[in-house]
A and B are shown apart, each in its own frame.
Chain A
Amino acid sequence: MDFALDQKSVQRLKLLRGLGKELFRPLGMEADKKGEPIPPDHPFFQQIVDMGLVSPLGPDPEKKKSEPSEKRSNRMAVLFAEEASYWDRGVAVTMPGPGLGGPPINKMGTPAQRERFMSVFKDKKPHWGAFAMTEPSAGSDVAGIKTLARRDGNSWVLNGAKTFISNAKRAEWVIVFATIDPKLGRAGHRAFVVEKDTPGFDVTRVERKMGLKAYESCSFVLEDCRIPADNLLGGEAYYEKKAGFKGAMSAFNASRALVAVMAIGVGRAAWDHARQFVRDNYDLGRPIPRYRRILERLATVKRGLDAGRALAWRGAWLLDIGEPNALEASMAKQFCPPAALAACSTAVEVLADAGVRNDELVEKLYRDVKAMDIVEGTQQIQRTIIARRLVGLPQET
């Protein structure tokens, strides 16, 4: 048992820290002030690609059989995700790369599909992928998606609407989950790759969000959107295996611990800012009545953040050693966002009247962090997953 980081990881984190301070934080603040996402042709993205940094999304499937290299381990990914989110969670999501579309391609895709869709990221230019499950009327209740997929000769034809999809407008391809028959529930689900500029695929709006302004959350429609049969992820055979789709969903256990730890990163940023504010403004020279309480509250916040981080680390570590982590990943995802929200809210209060100013960072973090309790399964959904495993809470329809 060892909670210490090795030198190499520390070095990598230092590199990211430099980048975060110089680029992530200022870009994130600017996007927030303007209320606009960072445009895809912004030089920042090319810089990221030139530095060989793509969004940290877990192990390389090619190396899955052997011991995952440390650089690509889930443990390294949680470290990176926390540090990147510390500087700016919105900017971290704009990082070029396959994004949340990576895990399904890696987990479900055939070798030919992996080659076809992942090779685009090798050309030294910024490119993005996206992942589209949520629909206007179905978010938590994934089984309720209505986007319909119909086989027609050598094509699939998709009809439906997706909403809140990160980076969909700039993506080279979007992984679209659809159903071949809504009556079949999850068994009817299929994952498709819809490529940019496919006729019938139309991004209809970029949402106006409370925070996380640096990246685009998009709604799009699919109207008789015809894609090659080859774009069915994994091929027909994949879905005939009983465990097929369920197995694929387990890929998201990795991202759940990541999102959890991202919340911790945001919370830690707020905590750090408040701590520095107290040091700068209320040193012992000018004790104020609430000085002691502020210190106690900062200590309480830190306890929550540290406990949350440990839960997320456990989720990632279990994956690295090849153990199931569904319960542990859900525990991290349930615990971390509220702890981080409390950190941000406390930071706003510690700064007193300055805390509600947009240029003081903490109010932005308070707006940003709320989303972490919604994406990748809300805390309510995590509770049902945890309770199902702990006390056999019956699964709903």
Chain B
Amino acid sequence: MEVKDEFREETTKRLKNLGVDPAVIGEVTRLVNVGPLEKLLNLARSDSLWPMGFGLACCAIEGLMASNMARFDLARFGYEVMRASPRQADVMLVCGTVTKKIAPIVVRLYEQMPEPKYVIAMGSCAISGGPFVDSYNVVPGVDTLIPVDVYLPGCPPRPDAVIHAFMQLKAKINQAKGGKR
């Protein structure tokens, strides 16, 4: 996934408008780049997402445990700071089956998270109810309760896919205009 260096482009454009010599532009943009503060904040945000350690079913083993351990090591990307409190978390991985009994708690935890907040629906259960969609007590997808940013299919998704979902979320945050979405 190629991420455009928007800051460099912006700086180059401004210097060109000022009629600066191209050689000087190259030297300057090597050291200094300018851009809107929101973009800078998004950059910081997208590289240090703090997930909430909140597992509901089998997917939590891959999404919150395996992807954090040595072989896959989510810490390489800066996403390893599992928070036990929604007040400190940026992203909620909905790892597993959402039953009707847990649904009010999922909503409450989401509402307790401070803005900007993001949701990854992990596994076919969180996306659509998965293998239990015909059951009498399973919510058919967490997006019927809270807004979802990234859908991560699989049953369960591999830890590589979890990392990919985080990368997608990172791209989404960086493309956002203002603070959120």
Q: Do A and B bind each other?
A: no
Q: Which residues of B contact A (CB under 8 A)?
A: none
